[in-house]
Amino acid sequence: MEVIDPEERLVRRDTGARADTLALVTIALVVTVIHLLTNGRYGFHRDEFQFLSDARHLDWGFVAYPPFTPFVERIGLEIFGVSMVGLRLFSVIAQAVAIVVAGLMARELGGGRLARVTSALLVATSGLPVFEGTEFQYSTFDYLWWVLIAYFVIRLLKTEDPRWWVAIGAAIGAGLMTKYTICFFVAGVLGGMLLTSARRFFLSGWFWCGVGVAVVIFLPNLLWQVRHGFISVHFLQHIHTRDVGQGRANGFLRDQFIICANIVAAPLWVAGLVSFFRDRRYRMLGWMYVIPLALFMLGKGRGYYLAAAYPMLMAMGAVVGERWVQSLRSPWGRVVEGVFFTGVAAWGLFVYALIVPLASSGPLRQFALKNNGDLREELGWSELVQQVASIRDSLPAEQRASVGVFTANYGEQGAVEILGPKYGLPMPISRTNSAWLRGYPAEHPTTLIVLGFSKATAEKAFTGCQLAGQVSNPDGVSNEEKGGSIYVCGPPRLPWPEFWIQYQNFG
C-alpha cells in the first residue's frame, strides 16, 4: 500500500482542484467562442433597440425595467459603438460566469470532477441560458444574480459563516436593479429561512447588514419609482394581463423541462430537489425553488421566469448522480455515463441549432428561423429605417423641413433612433414606455411619418393620413413588423399635450 506524505497529498489535492476549475473555465470559453462567432449575424432584436435607446438617456429607472441593463449597455456603446458582437459581449460573459459558478456549486456540495463538469455542461446546454448569450437582455443578468445568490447561500450553509449575508445582499440588490422578478427568489430565500433551521440567521447582525446592503443598492431606483408614481408597477400589470390574454403563460410546467433545463437533466434536477429537502443543512435551498415555483404558477408567470433556479438543483443532482454511478460495478458506471452524456450532447446540439444563429444561409438557418420567433425579430430593421428615409426624401421640400417620425412600438423607435442618424432622420417620437416619459419635441412637426399603426388607428389619431409604404424584409420572414403600414400624416387631431396623455402605451 502506497504511503503518501501529507504535504504531497495536499499538493495533489490542489493540483486536482485547479484542473477541475480549468475544466469549468474551458467549457465556459467554448460557449463564449461560439457566441462571439455567431452574434454578428442577423441584426439587433427589437428588445435590444429599447435597451440601446434607454442607454442613451440614462436615469435611475425606466418604465419597463430597473437601470442596470441600460447602464451596462451604455458602457458597451462607449467602448464598441453600435456593434452587435461588442454589445452582446456582456451577455456572453454573464452566461460564462453562470456556467462556472454552477460547477463551483457542485464542488461546494461535495461533488468531484464528474459532478462539477456535469453541472457546468448542463447549464451550457440548457435552452434559456444558451439564449441569454445570443442577445443583450435584462434576463441575462437576472439569471446570473439568481445563480450567484444560490452559490452564496450554499457557502453560508456550508461554512456557517454569517458574513456571506453581505454577498447575498449585494447580489439581491444588483438583482433588484436588473429585473423585479427577483423578488420571487427573495421570497424563496426568506421562506426557506423561516421553514428550516436557517431561521437562526434572523438573529445575526450580518443578516441585517446584508439587508441594508440590498436596500442601499436598490434605493435610487425605489426613489425614482416614488417620483414617477410607481409607473413600472402599472407597466408590469399591463404586460402580465397581455401575456395571460395571449397565452404566453400557458405551458408553464412543460417549459420547466424543455426551456429552463436540458431535458436529459430532468432526473438529476428532480433528484437534486429531493436531496435538498432530505439534507438538514441544505434544506433551505429546496424551499428556494419550491416557493418561487408555487408563486409563479399561482400568478401565471411565463415558463422561463424560473430558469435561473435550476443550476443549484442540477448541481446537487450531479453530486447525487456521481455518487450513484460510483456505486455501480464496472463497466455499468461507464455505460450510464456514456448514455447520459450522449443524451446531453444531443439535446445541446438541438438547442444550439434552434437558438444560436449558427448558419448565415442554408437549411440550418431556415430551421432556426422557422422555429425561433426571437431570431425572426432580428430581421428587417435596417431595411425599415432605409424605407423611412426614402419616404422622407420623397416628400416636398416644405414638408421635409418639418417632418417627424412617429413610432408605435419600442422596436421601431429604437431602430430609428440608433440606425436613423446614418440617413439624417430626426429623433423618433414614441408613445411607448420610457420614450413616452421623455416627451414630444418642443417644436411640433407638421408632417409625420407614422409607423406601426393600422389605418383606422392612424386616421383616428392624425390628420390627412396617406399610405406611403408596406414593411417587408429581404428574407420574407414573418415577424411583428412585416406587412405593417407606413403613413404620411399631418399633426395629431388633439393638441399635443392632450394627445400625449391619451396615447400613452406600454409594450
**324 and 451 both lie in a single domain:** no
Q: Is the pLDDT of residue 300 over 50?
A: yes
Domain shared by 21 and 113, yes or no = yes
End-of-domain residue from the set 370, 401, 435:
370
What is the per-residue pLDDT across 43-54, written as a single tens digit (0 to 9) for each?
A: 999 999 999 999
CA angle 86, 92, 97 (to 5 degrees): 140
Residue 1 resides in a domain:
no
Say if 226 falls within a structural domain. Answer: yes
- Decide if 324 is inside a domain: yes
pLDDT, one tens digit per residue, over 208-263 is 999 999 999 999 999 999 999 999 999 999 999 999 999 999 999 999 999 999 99
How confident is the model over 409-448, as pLDDT tens digits?
999 999 999 999 999 999 999 999 999 999 999 999 999 9
Report the distance separating Cα 168 and Cα 383, nearest Å: 46
Determine the average pLDDT of the residues in 117-123.
Answer: 98
DSSP assignment letter at 486: E
CB-based contact 150:131 (threshold 8 Å): no
Any domain includes 375: no
By three-state DSSP, how is residue 359 classified?
coil
Looking at this protein, which amino acid is placed at residue 135?
A: E
Looking at the predicted structure, is the pLDDT value of residue 13 above 70? Answer: no
Place of cell 429581404: 474
Helices and strands (H, E) in the chain, number of each type: 24, 5
Q: Per-residue b/e over 217-231, b at no fewer than 16 CB within 10 Å?
A: bbeebbebbeebeeb
pLDDT tens digits for range 256-271: 999 999 999 999 999 9
In this structure, what are the phi and psi dihedrals at residue 449, rounded to the nearest 5 degrees?
-90, 115
Do residues 36 and 92 touch, judged by C-beta distance below 8 A?
yes
pLDDT of residue 263: 98
Mean pLDDT of the chain: 95
Judgement on whether residues 400 and 478 belong to the same structural domain of the protein = yes
Rounded mean pLDDT, 478-503: 96
21: confidence class by pLDDT, cuts 50, 70, 90: very high
Query: Given this model, what pLDDT does residue 10 score?
Result: 47
Whether residue 82 is found in the same domain as residue 211? yes
> Is 390 found in the same domain as 350?
no
What tens digit of pLDDT does each residue of 370-407 get?
A: 999 999 999 999 999 999 999 999 999 999 999 999 99
Segment 286-305 shows an average pLDDT of: 97
**pLDDT 10s digits, 312-359:** 999 999 999 999 999 998 899 899 999 999 999 999 999 999 999 999
Residue 255, C-alpha cell as written in the block: 417549459
- As a whole number of angstroms, the distance between CA 283 and CA 280 comes to 5
Examine the domain organization and report whether 252 and 194 are in the same domain: yes
Whether 476 is covered by a domain: the verdict is: yes
Provide the pLDDT for residue 14.
Answer: 55
Q: Number of folded domains in the chain?
A: 2
* Rg of the Cα atoms in the chain: 25
pLDDT of res. 5 = 54
Could you give the CA distance from residue 106 to residue 153 in angstroms, rounded to a whole number? Answer: 13
Domain that includes residue 229, residue range: 6-370
Burial 259-283 (b: 16+ CB within 10 A, else e): bbbbbbbeebbebbbebbeeeeebb
- Counting residues of the chain whose pLDDT is more than 70, the rounded percentage is 97
Among residues 370, 403, 418, the one where a domain terminates is 370
Query: Are residues 344 and 388 part of one domain?
Result: no
From 341, 370, 399, the end of a domain falls on 370
Q: Give the integer Cα–Cα distance in Å for 17 and 25.
A: 12
Alpha helices in 39-83 (DSSP H): 46-55, 68-80
pLDDT tens, residue by residue, 57-112: 999 999 999 999 999 999 999 999 999 999 999 999 999 999 999 999 999 999 99
| Residue 174 CB-density burial (10 A; 0-12 exposed, 13-18 middle, 19+ buried) | buried
Per the CB < 8 A criterion, the answer to whether 283 and 231 are in contact is no
* 352/393 same-domain check: no
Within this chain, do residues 348 and 402 fall inside the same structural domain, yes or no? no
pLDDT value for 143: 98
What per-residue confidence (pLDDT) applies to 108?
Answer: 98
- Going by pLDDT thresholds of 50, 70 and 90, the confidence category of residue 1 is very low
461 in a structural domain: yes
What's residue 18's pLDDT?
84
The band of 19, judged by pLDDT with boundaries at 50, 70 and 90, is confident
Model pLDDT, residue 7:
54
Q: What is the pLDDT of residues 270-286, one digit of tens each?
A: 999 999 999 999 999 99
Pair 108, 198 in one domain: yes
One domain for residues 387 and 300: no
How far are the Cα atoms of 140, 161, 172, 484 from residue 76, in angstroms, in the given order?
Answer: 15, 37, 24, 31
Kindly state the helix (H) or strand (E) to which residue 229 belongs, with its residue range.
none
Q: Do 389 and 410 lie in a common domain?
A: yes
The pLDDT tens digits for 448-486 are: 999 999 999 999 999 999 999 999 998 899 999 999 999
Higher pLDDT, 15 or 395: 395
| CB contact at 8 A, 135 and 281 | no
pLDDT in tens, 172-222: 999 999 999 999 999 999 999 999 999 999 999 999 999 999 999 999 999
